[in-house]
Structure formats: structure tokens, C-alpha cells
Structure 1
Amino acid sequence: MRQYLKMDEWSIIEESFDPSTHEISESIFSIGNGYMGQRANFEEKYSGASLQGSYMAGVYYPDKTRVGWWKNGYPEYFAKVLNSTNWIGIHVLLDGVALDLAQCEVKAFVRELNMKEGYLSRRFTAVMEDGKELRVETVRFVSMKRHEIGAIRYAVTPLNFSGMITFVPYLDGDVKNKDSNYEEKFWLEVEKNAGPERSYLTLKTKKLDFHVTSVMSFDVTKNGTALELQPVLVENEKYVSSEVSFETAKDETLTLYKYVANVTSRDHGLGQLVEAGTAALSAAKSAGFDVLLQEQADAWAEKWKGSDIIIEGDVSAQQGIRFNIFQLNQTYTGEDDRLNIGPKGFTGEKYGGSTYWDTEAYCVPFYLSTADSSIARNLLIYRYKHLEKAKENARKLGFTKGALYPMVTMNGEECHNEWEITFEEIHRNGAIAYAIYNYVNYTGDKAYLGQYGLEVLAEISRFWEERVNFSKEKGKYVMLGVTGPNEYENNVNNNWYTNRIAVWTLEYTLEVLEELSKHEPARYKELVEKLGLREEETSKWKDIIANMYYPLDNERGVFLQQDGFLDKELVPVKELAPEHLPLNQNWSWDRILRSCYIKQADVLQGLYFLGDRYDLETKKRNFDFYEPLTVHESSLSPCVHSILACELGYQEKAYEMYLRTARLDLDNYNNDTEDGCHTTSMAGTWMAVIQGFAGLRVHNNELVLRPFVPSHWMSFSFKVMFRGSRLQVNVTEDSIIVANETETPAAIRIYDQSYTVGAMGEVRSKKSSMTV
């Protein structure tokens, strides 16, 4: 791990160009707007190592599963977010010689991701082989207001020569995914046109028939004066470009403004793509680059208004949390309930860009607290719409009833091709059930249960009913052959977390049934008939609840991760030589599976989710036992440990884990940031601050706060939405101030005292005392 980025509260800044870290920077400096996004590839030619990536949300490809053998129930494909048309490209030539940062000397290089205003910029001086020096300054963004629009300002200034400078803006659809099987390309050309006013390129996927049209136009100025363009137009396979050349004197600045509209068949009819793209492009170009850039700043100001976290006294932590919030806000906006959140967002291809349980377990809390409740609701509706597919997934594995939500999906169908995940990591079902509870508990939107929630809960409960079996030897229900959250152990029996979250789901489903029968009897009757629920089923659920087996170590007083865990040699991570870490890059899989080492929170995941069911002493015993054995080689691990450490009063451990999750990608902790950023774990970073250091929970319709200020900070503040109120919370070493920015009163509890923060009101607390 080498820290090469400058510490700054609002920006990510790289102050020199190093090809060895370029692919890492391509991930970190990625931009997006929920509709599309791209890695921080260079506009000009770059012949060095690079992972080119431009992505359109919801556009994917079912790449054939590639395994050495086949098992019944295996998915037939692995869904991949597609590297689509490279729309940012601008070839630059100096007297006919291409500008290529891999082939010239690069001086005064600065790359900046301005998170406050939502744009990516670069400036540098290129020294060509013949000694010509060219200063380059670029700004680009994808619009948060006009979601189909991307814009680039590309300015060049000859510093020691006069000569012919050529710009070649282009659209290139002849692209492929780095992880494609057998180097297969996924796109076919539909139509193209290179024109003097605009050019366009339409591609379609070889399967599923997604169509994407990119429409391009550009202007050029010299020292701010518009130039007349007479472009040389080029059309090749999956490629269009326009070439313009200008005699340019020393110190004159030539600036190209490139505007692109990217539209897809998800939103427009197949025969309307060029027209729709042209209309969006024309409106954007008429507004002009400066107006678009101001719109971008205004849109991001609104985003930050509801989601910013301010940390005083720790620039590293401040930069880390804002980077995570920025990536979350540009990955998912909640405006389209057909979309979800991929583990890499718009920053890379790894994991296929598909939906995992990460969304329900880690992302839902962020959107619940920082945006209108409809945003989180759409994440839940996404799963409701996939319920029939989840039932199909269960049937494919031989179950006669119930729903098994996929580990990996784009359309509700399982598309993960590792058997120990596809067949065994079934705890994902519990995360989806928990997200329903979390949403209703936080928002108070109990209507959701009758509208959508109960159907999902009932089908998940039916799956658990059939997945367990009764052990005569133990006299208990058991769960055999599973993989828990700790993926460094596969095919285990009675993973504590899986057994516990299954029982919790059954308990919650029964609670919802009772709630509906009392308060919505007509809807209750309708749903019981629709689902075909029988008393024998609910009786069986109650029997499972009462008689589930949980592995325990009575001597230590801890829940065992699974049967046989104590057969392992228990050697703490701190006793491993540094060269062994990370294990997944240095040990064989066989050695990892036989070891005691834990990839991410497993038992502790359950204690985090179900924290109101266990006392502090129980949490402490389990934390003290499992954390020393945890290598945190999943990006989802440090945040859970940070939250629990806060609750237990382990303030230094909490801070250590927070900083690890906050700067996971910025500092490349796991040596894998070049593949893309860990977008869903970024929501865990937010959780570490809000649920950890601020101690935020919701109990009995109150927003509960139990904050403390880490010793590395002077203070911190944040905003949360809660049932129509937006609350500004400021925490210092000796006081807590909660201000209501809305007309809607909010019920809160600080430590152990309950209060109402009135319309535009304020509450002040000094530890246990409170003044209003």
C-alpha cells in the first residue's frame, strides 16, 4: 500500500503521473450520474496499461458460464455490465504526431476529482520526442441534471513552438470487456453517421437486444473565439470521427468542447434513439459548457445538502468519508426502480456489475437517512418485482416452494457461477427480509408490508422451512451444507448466522401477519388467499423457531461460527508474518479453507443486524473472540466491526476499522483497487460514522443517538432524514446539538432521554443533561 494522493477535504488530487498507479487512479477518479458512468480514462491516446470502461446502467450481457464441469442447478450465464461506446475519445496530433502520455515526458501533472461540484479535471505539460512542449487542461463530467449528457472541455497551448494542431473527437464502439470469455466482443453495429454538425453511432448487444446510441457534437475556440469548422469525416466499423486542424502559434490556446448524448432502448423505442439523442444533445449544446457545469455544481450542492458529513481535525477521515458519499450518490439516484447497485458501481467490471446482498445489508441504511424514503423503497420494490424469479431459482435447486433470491443478478435470475456461492450462500435471503424490517422500522411506512413486504417475507420463510431438516440426534432443526458471510469456509453445517437470520425471518413474518390481521383485515385476508397460506405452515414456522439448533461454546460463552469451528488451530492474525497477508493473494484456497481465519463479519454480522436481541456482554465476548481471527479481506468487514467496537467502547479499534473502510480504495488496502472501487462497502463507511460514532438507531418510533467523538477528531456533524424531518446533528466532546431544518417535528432520544425536536426547532444536550 502506497499513499500517493494528496489529502484534501473536498477533492481527490494526484500530483504526478505514475503509470504503475494509473489503473488504480482510473478507478478512484471515476465519474457517474446513476444513469451512466466511466472510469477515469484519458481522452487522448494512451498506449500504456489501462482498463477502458464506459458503462450504461441496466445494460448487460449474459456471458456464458465458463466452468470445468457442470452441476444441476448451475446458472447458464454470468451477467456482465458492458463496457460500451468510448465517447470521451479525442485524438490530439502535433504536426501529425499523436499525443500519447505513454510515449512522452509528462511534467506538472495534476488530476483532480472535485467532489463538491462533481467534475474531473487534469492539467499537465507533455514534452514530445522532438522537444515540443504542450500544456493540456481538461474538465469533464456526466450531468446530474441531464442524465443522458456528458461534456468535455479540452484545451491545449503550445509552450515553445508554433504548428498544426489536430483534434479528432470520436465515438468508438469496437470495445470489449477485460473479463470476457475467449476475448469475445459483445456489440454489433446497427447504424452510424459522421456528419458536419453531429455524428452518431448505434450498437446493439448480441444477446438481449439492448440498443445504445451515442450522438456527438463539438465546437472549437482559439483564445476564446469560436472557429469555423470544416471537419474531415470518417466512418469505420463501430466508429465515427471528425478531424479538424488549425495552425496555432506559441502561447495560443485551442479549446475543444465535446458534447455527447448517450441514450438506450431501456428508455426509448428502437426507432427513436437517434432522434432522442439528438434532441438531448441539441439542448445541452445550446446551453453551453459553462451553463452545464454550473448546473452540475448546483445539483451536487443539493446532494451534499442532505448527505454531507463534516469532520473537524482529521483531513484523512474527512476526505475518506466524502469520497465514499460521492461515489454512492453518483452510482444510484433511486429514480428508476429497475436499477440497483453493483459492487463496483461505474468504476470497473469485476463481479459483473450485478446486484448482490450488499444492497440490502449495507446500502439501504444510507439511502434511508440521506434521501426521500421513496429512494430506499425503490430498492425494496426492485426485489419485489423479482419475486417470481426468486421462486424459479428455488425450484431450479429442487425446492417445492418458497423463494431463494439470487446471490448475483441483473433481472432476478441467478447468474453466479461458483457452486459454494450459488448453492450455499443462502443467508442472502435473510438480508432481503431484514431490509424490509429496516425500511419499515426507520420510515414508519407500515403500508409497505401489505402492499409488497408480506409476499416477499412469506416466500422467504417457506424457503427456510424447506431448507432446514430435523436432526433426531440433536432433537433440533439444523441447516446443513451452507456458506456463511465468511467465504473462507465453504460447505459447513449450522453456520450460526444463517440459522439465526432464518429464525429471525420466520419470527418477523409471523409478526407482520399478526399486524396485518389486526390493522388491515381485508388486505390480510386477500394476501392469505393469494399466497395460499395455511395454518400448518405457520405452525411449522413456530416449531422451527422454538427448536432451531445453534452451535455454542459454553466455556467461552460465544456463538460458534459453525459446527467444528473449535477443531481449527486458533492463531490470531497478529501472529502471522506480514508476508502472508492478504491471504487470498498468498495462500492456496485449500489452506485458507482449513484455517481459522475469517474474511468478514459472520457471527458479528448477526450481532450487528439483531443488536437489540443481545446484551453488551454477549456482544463483547463474541467480538473479543472473533475479531482477532478476522483478516478483513472483504471490503464489507471493517464497517461492521467499527460499529460494534463503538457500541462496546473500543474507541481506538472503532477508529482503526473506520479509517480502513473509509480509505479502502484511496489507500488500496486490499491491493485490488485497479479492478474498480468497492462501491457497496462505501455505504458501510457511512454506517461506521452514523451508526458507529453517532450511535444512531431507531427504537419505538424514536431516532436514538448515543454519540462520542473519536480522539482523532475535534467534532463531527451530519444530516439525516427521519420520517419527513431533516435533522442536522453536531457532536463535540461536551455537547450534542440537533436542529430540525423542516416544519415536521421529530421524536428523538439522546442517550436515555426522549424529546421532540419541533418545527425548525433545536435540542441541545451535554452528555446526560439536556436543554431545549
Structure 2
Amino acid sequence: MISYSLGKEELENWIVSETEFQPDSLGKAEAIMHLGNGYLGLRSATEEPYMKETRNLFVAGTFNKAEENEVTELPNIADVTRLDIRVDGERFSLEIGKTKDYIRQLNLKYAELIRIFEWTSPKGKVLQFEFKRFVSLDNLHLIGMKMFVKSLSDPVQISFDSGIDAQMSNSGSQHFLEGERRIFDKKKILLVQTTNQSKIDVVINSSHKVLVNDQEITDYPAMNMSRRKVWLTYNINLQPNDKMELEKLTTVYTSRDKEFDNTEYNIQLLMDKSLEDLRNSSIKGYDSLFQSHKEAWNYSIWNAYKLEINSENPYDQLALRFSLYQLTIMAPAHDERMGVAAKALSGEGYKGHSFWDTEIFILPFFIFSNPAIAKSLLTYRYYGLEGAREKARENGYSGAMFPWEAAWPTDGEVTPKLGDIDIVTGKQTKIWSGVIEQHISADIAFAIYQYFNVTADQEFMDHYGYEIIFDTAIFWASRLEWNERKQEYHINNVIGPDEYKEHVNNNAFTNYMAFFNIKLAIRYYETLMKDNPSLIEKLTMKLDLKTAYKTWQTKAEKIYLPQPREQDLVIPQDDTYLKLKEIDLTKYKNQEKLRTIYLYYNPQQINTFQVTKQADTLLLFYLLRQTFLHEDIKLSNEVKEANFYYYEPKTLHDSSLSLATHSILANDIGDTDFAYSLFRKATEVDLGPLMNTSDDGIHAASIGGIWKAAVFGFAGIRLVDGKLTINPKLPKQWNHMKLTIHWQGQPIGIFLTDNTLSVKVEHKKKIEFEVYDQIYYCDDEINIEYEYGKR
């Protein structure tokens, strides 16, 4: 059972707790309580092993293809957290004996995992156990662990095995060649392994320190090695009230790390660096290292973002802190060659690949909160341009057609070709998204537009941004298909965001976003011709922009953009959606588990119903209202409201991406109560009471959506065609909201109640913003009353 209310005093609304050990539901806590820092991701499996556990340790960017017939994925590098514990020679397990006062907690404020319980052995001996663990934000290569065992009743022998176990796989796929294993000073362990295809070296070192009653023991442990594994065995005798403590520190380095990814690299340098780091860390010790880690979180995260909610439901504040915690540990801030995985670094789901989730659901947080990380994530897409160009050529197009699933930038398209079982035919279903879900190219262009307008980072645009936008526009111009009868350009045979509709023509989202991408390229080309002709000349030599510009001008205004129907203002999701059969969706809308519709229908059948997986057409209103298209009548509030109430009842939210978008739009049209209920549902995708929703890993995009629903929805903070707007609509449950955003180079402090807004400009550089159609200027601090109030 998961609890959110056990944090007290300064830790109130900072603690996520598991209050009962459930051996059949281990995945939930393993995923949502996982630890990381953007470089390392450590799934929070218990120290002692269980049948249904999943033990994962990932290093960002270390992609490997286990076999020729498999796709590249992040390999599960090794297990350093497992402790095989024995009590009087018998295996310790919470499935035997009696457990009392069990608690496992993720402390979001300190990014620490703690587990405490009292256990009575089958022989009646009572022991107190405590485990602690952190993955350092101060030293990205460091993992710290502690174990405490106290005898409460009888003399007892505690023995345990601790080491590095590289006998790991990704659901059976082995990614590594075995390398060197060593034990130094009977305390430190070295294990080296190399990925079998990408040839990335991984060096792992662990040190051990064991104390009894605060005195370090002098007895040497037994030393052991086997295939892909090296470990130490300790035997400790405790008298009643004696306490044993194990301190284990681990460092992880790879040849993909930027400092080693060069022509002068050799594996000995990597081994020396890792061992040196371990030795220095061992001198400092767990407590000192943990203090530095805490200070890094306090300074870099909590004092920087300052997101506070005063709500009648304290859970709301915890959920937003959970969102900030997860967003921090999923982002590879250390290396612009890496993206964010759909499951972050919390599990094997989606193989560590990046999707459009990053640009539309995760990147906005960083754009408005930590622009340096946003720049890094967009630079990752630039490094993937050659792969995008290759994909376009392979499919008969020009320009840059970005992969639906991306891994290492030069890997290109890595979407698996086959997926789930078809319940009708019994065969594996073909995954079409890697071929025909193409809107991601325009999504990336939109993200660059959003980043540039919010940050005013001209250097990024000159080096990276313009080239991506121009090349994706070239792709779309080549992708358009001329319809002679209608005298317009169509985009046929695609999948839009609604992946329950495959092989459709003129998906509204895809067509409008392609139109936006091309129009944006035209605007930027014309601006650069006037302001920076030398850059245009440079890019023209690479992309032939003179020809492309003429093509854009010719084709842009002839792209078919589905119009609102005259009778109800509904924009057709695609050419056939509004003609499809309507079925009763009640049991699917009320489902406790996602995608239950697949228990009754296969993809071909679902394709014939008016049922939507996630926000599709509705997403247009949220995205394009931020652009120079915001005054288009097709995006008016009246049309938005009509489409919301048509499509939302048909949307199953079978993608975790969907709820946040619907929450924002519900708030936009004044249905704040519904918006709040959707916000709460979004927070419960991972945090909620259902114990199997996160087994494969957390839902990174949904976690980004929690922040978006609060900040873009309830706080009403938006980019609108280069301008900052703040149109708050706080839910009635919230008394006030406080946060910091970044706008064009400086932090902006914002404080909201249901009818007042305070804005503080940190660097005293004048900004302009709009509140409910009224323009304000501020170079210090301003207090504003607004009239929306609560509904």
C-alpha cells in the first residue's frame, strides 16, 4: 500500500511511503521510488532478492544491440544493491518469519530511499533492520548504501554476500562481454564489462566497510568470484543489543562518458579514474557524501524551482514535488548527446528510447525552469539530423524525417517492428509508428520555436535550431501529396497522436503541424535574409534553401487543413473518423487498467470505431495557440470548447500523455472542476493506489504533464507568439500557488491566489506580459488583481 501522509514537520508532503511488504506487487515501489541523477538510474529493488523483482541499473546513452534481430536498448549493466543475507545460516526473507512496523520511503527532498522494519525469525529471534540508499547528484558516478542490523533479543549470527553481479540481462537478452574482475585490499571490488555490439566499456568499483557497535571489524571477509560476478562474504556474531553496520559505496564509469570518448582513450584510464573516485569517496564516507548530495538537491533543485501549492488536499503539493524529483533524475543534463527515455531510467519499458514525449510533454518544464537542460535536449535532436535525413531518403522523401523512437543520435530509427499479440489472430501485431507516425518532425520544430521565444537564445538558433526547422520543412514539402480533384495537398497514410487510428488520411494534428512547420521555415528564412544573410548563405550551401523557399511558398497555402463542421464546429480528426461507428465506451472509460479495449478487439477492429487513445485533435489547440497562428478562427475558444466536449468522451486516456492535455484545455474553457479531476488522475498514473501501473517503469511524459497542468493550466502561464501571458484559473481547492519560471534570460518569481498575482523580476530587466488582455510592464515587482476568481 502506498501512503503520502507520513512526512512530518519539515518533511511534510515530501515522503512517498510503502507501508506493507507485498511480494506480488514489487514493481510499483521499485519504479516510483527509483533513484538517479540523469547519468545513473537505479531501480529500487530491495536488498534481499524476491521472485518477482526487477533489478535494473542503467547508464544514460550506453545503447547496445544484443542480437542482430533485436533493436538497440539501454543495457542493464550490473546489480550492486543485492545483499544475500543469512540469519543463523538460514536465508533472510520477509516472506518467512514475522514482520512488524514495515516502512519503505522515498524522501523526495533528500532523494534518499529508506527501509525499516522489525523482523522475527522462524526461530523466534527478533532483529531490527534499516537500509539506506542514494544516487548522488553531487557526484554523478556515485551510489551509496547502508545496512543496519540490531539484535533485539538473542545472540545471532548475521552473514551476507555483497558485491557486483553482472549476471544480468534485459528480459533475457545479454548485452555484455565479460571483462576483468579483481578484489583490492579485501574491501574493494572491480568488475569490467564491454557491450557486445557498441563496444562500450563499463567499469564498476565497490568498497565495503563493516562496523559492529561503531567499531570497524578487522576480520577479513571471504573472497569469491564466478562468471560475471565478484563478491565478499562477511560473518558477524551479534549479542543482544549489538548493532552491525555495512557501508557500501560504488562508482560507475563508461567509455561513453564525454571525458573518455576520444581518440586517446584506453580502458586502463577508465579503470584508474573509477578506482581513484572510489578511494576518495571511501575516505569521505557515506555520511559526508550524502550531505554533499543533499546540498546539491537543495541548491540546484528545490531553491531554484520553488514550486509551492497551498491546497486543501496536501497530496497535490507532494505530487508536484514528485514531478520535479522525477524530471530532475530523468534528464541527462551532463551530456547533450543523450535524450530522455519514455520510462526515464526506471525500467526496461520502451528500451530507453526517446519519443515525441520529450518535446511536447517534458521539454516545456525545462524551457521554463532550466533552459540549459532544454538546450541540451534540443541539441541531442540536432545530433540526430543525419539519422533523420537517412530515414527520409529510405522512405523516398527529402529533408529530415525524425525517428519515432531514438536512441544514440547516429542510430537512426529504432522502433521495434513487432509488438503485442493480436487477440483475434494470435499473431504479433506489426508496429507501424516507426514508419508512418511522422508528426514528430513537426513536434521538434515546435519545441525549437517554443525554446527560442522563451529564452531568446540566438546562438542556439544560429548553430542548430534554424537548420532543424528548415530541414523538417523540406521533409514536409516532399511528403505532401497533390489531390488533383480537390486542388490541394494532402498527407495520406499516417498515424496521428491517436495510435488507435492507423493508416488514416489527413490526420488534423499532422496536417496542421506540418503547415506550422513550413510557415515557420518561411518566416525564419525571410527574417535571416534580412538580418543574417551570411547564415542563410551557409545553410543554403547545405540545404539548397533558395529552391526550398520557393517550394514552401507554393505549397503552404494549398495544404488541406480540416475545418470545423458547420453544424457543431468539430474538426474531423481525419478523413473518416466522424463517419466511424460509435460504440458504448463506458467500461473502458471506467477501467482500472489501461488498454482493456484490446481484451475485446484487435487493432483493425478498433480502427473502425470512434474511439481515441489520447489527445489528438485537441492537442492542436494547446500547441498552436502558442504560435503566430493563435488568432486563426479555427483555434478560437468556441471551436476549442466544441471539440473538447466531442472528443473527450471518446478518449480512453490509454496513453499517460493524455490526461494533462485534457486538464489544460478543460481549464481553458472554464471547466476548472473537471480540469482539477483530470490533474489528479494524471498524478495517479504512477503515484496512485493501483499496484501494477508502473511495473515497466514510471511514465516520464505524464510526470512532465503534471507540471504542465499546474503551470500552463491552473497558473495560466503561456507563450503566445513570443509574448508571456499569465491568465490564472486556480482550482477551488488551491489557496495559493508560488513558482519561479525563466523568461528570456532571467528568473521570474510568481505568486498567485484566486484573484491576485504578484510578479517579481529577479534581475531587474524589464519584461512585458499580459493578464486577461491587459498589458503590464515590470522591472522589479508588481501586484495585480484579476477578475477570474474561482468557479
With normalisation by structure 1, the TM-score equals 0.93
Contact kept in structure 2, 1:482 and 1:490, CA below 8 Å? yes
Which of 307, 310, 322 does residue 308 from structure 2 map onto? 310
Aligned match for 2:127, one of 134, 142, 146: 134
1:539 to 547, 550, 556: 550
User: Is the contact made by 1:232 and 1:244 (CA closer than 8 Å) also made in structure 2?
Assistant: yes
Corresponding position of 1:767: 786
For 2:406, what is the secondary structure of its paired residue?
Answer: coil
Shift of 1:63: 4.2
Q: 1:574 to 1:588 in 2, by over 3 A?
A: closer
Q: Distance in 1 between matches of 2:23 and 2:15?
A: 21
Q: Write the distance in 2 (CA, Å) between the matches of 1:155 and 1:752.
A: 60
Question: Which residue pairs with 2:337 in the alignment?
Answer: 338
> Paired residue for 2:453, among 441, 447, 467?
441
Please tell me the residue identity of whatever aligns with 1:226: E
Partner of 1:724: 745
Query: Counterparts of 2:201 and 2:593 in 1: how far apart (Å)?
Result: 44
Distance 2:479 2:167 in 1: 46
Aligned residues: 748
Paired amino acid for 1:320: A
User: Quick one: which amino acid aligns to residue 484 of structure 2?
Assistant: K
| 1:396-450 CA distance string (max 9 Å, x none) | 2232x21110011112310102441011100111101111101111111234332
AA aligned opposite 1:305: N
- Checking the alignment, whether the CA contact within 8 Å between 2:2 and 2:19 is kept in structure 1 is no
The residue aligned with 1:689 is: 710
Corresponding residue for residue 15 of structure 2: 11
User: 1:315/1:7 Cα in 2 relative to 1: closer, same or farther (>3 Å)?
Assistant: farther
1:667 maps to what in 2?
688
Q: Which residue does 1:645 correspond to in 2?
A: 666
Quote how far apart the aligned CAs of 1:154 are: 0.7
Query: Partner of 1:595 in structure 2?
Result: 609
Letter in 1 for 2:348: E
Partner in structure 2 of residue 89 of structure 1: 82
Paired residue type of 1:58: G
1:39-89 CA distances to partner (integer Å, 9 max, x unpaired)? 111122x233111111111112224576xxxxxxxxxx4221111110112
Identify if the C-alpha distance between structure 1 residues 367 and 474 changes in structure 2 by more than 3 Å, giving closer, same or farther.
same
Unaligned runs of 5+ in 2: 8-12, 418-430
The one-letter amino acid paired with 1:601 is A
> What RMSD over aligned residues (CA atoms) do the two structures have, in Å?
2.0
Q: Is the 8 A contact 1:486 1:601 kept in 2?
A: yes
For residues 582 and 220 of structure 2, what CA distance do their matches in structure 1 show?
Answer: 73
1: distance between equivalents of 2:645 and 2:758? Answer: 33
**2:192 is matched by which residue type in structure 1?**
T
Residue number among 46, 49, 58 corresponding to 2:52 in the alignment: 49
Structure-1 residue corresponding to 2:270: 273
Comparing 457-466 with 56-65, which one deviates more in the overlay? 56-65
Name the CA distance, whole Å, in 1 between partners of 2:762 and 2:597. 47
CA gap of 1:61–1:668, structure 2 versus 1, over 3 A, is: farther
Q: Determine which of 693, 699, 707 is the counterpart of 1:678.
A: 699
Alpha-carbon deviation of 1:743? Answer: 4.5
Distance 1:576 1:389 in 2: 39
Displacement, 1:524? 1.7
Deviating more after overlay: 96-105 vs 430-439: 96-105
Question: Deviation per CA, 1:154-199, whole angstroms, max 9, x where unpaired?
Answer: 1001122112222322110010112xxxx33222211001231311
Q: Is the 8 A contact 1:232 1:243 kept in 2?
A: yes
1:709-748 equivalence runs, <5 A:
709-748=730-769
- Aligned residue for 2:338, secondary structure, equals coil
Q: For residue 35 of structure 1, what is the aligned residue in structure 2?
A: 39
| Distance of 2:558 and 2:297 partners within structure 1 | 52
SS at match of 1:656: helix
Go from structure 1 to structure 2 and tell me whether the alpha carbon gap of 1:739 and 1:229 turns closer, same or farther (over 3 Å shift): farther
Aligned partners of 1:31 and 1:476: how far apart in 2? 52
Amino acid at match of 1:283: N
Deviation at 1:249, TM superposition (A): 0.7
Give 1:20's aligned residue: 24
What is the Cα deviation at residue 237 of structure 1?
A: 0.9
Provide the rounded CA distance (Å) in 1 between the counterparts of 2:98 and 2:68.
Answer: 43
Gap change, CA 1:301 and 1:746, over 3 Å in 2: farther
Percent of matched pairs sharing the same residue: 28
CA-to-aligned-CA distance 1:138-167 (integer Å, 9 cap, x gap): 111010011101011110011221122223
Partners of 1:580 and 1:586 within 8 A in 2: no
Task: Tell me, in whole angstroms, the C-alpha distance in 2 between the residues paired with 1:428 and 1:734.
Answer: 38
Displacement of 1:581: 6.5
Residue 658 in 1 paired to residue 679 in 2?
Answer: yes
Moved more, 451-460 or 338-347: 451-460
Q: Provide, for residues 77-121 of structure 1, a one-character-per-residue CA deviation record: whole Å limited to 9, x for no partner.
A: 422111111011222222222212233432211001000111111
Read off the aligned partner of 1:286 and give its amino acid letter: I
Instruction: Confirm whether residue 378 of structure 1 aligns to residue 397 of structure 2.
Output: no
Whole-Å Cα distance in 2 between the matches of residues 451 and 550 of structure 1?
Answer: 32
Matches within 5 A, 1:190-229: 190-195=179-184, 196-229=186-219
Say which of 749, 753, 756 aligns to 2:770. Answer: 749
**TM-score, normalising length from structure 2?**
0.91
Cα distance between partner residues in 2 of 1:576 and 1:116? 37
Q: 1:404 to 1:425 in 2, by over 3 A?
A: same
SS in 1 for 2:747: strand
**Aligned equivalents of 1:88 and 1:736: distance in 2?**
48
Matched to 2:177, the amino acid is L
Mapping of residues 622-633 of structure 1, within 5 Å: 622-633=643-654
Q: 1:580 to 1:451 in 2, by over 3 A?
A: closer
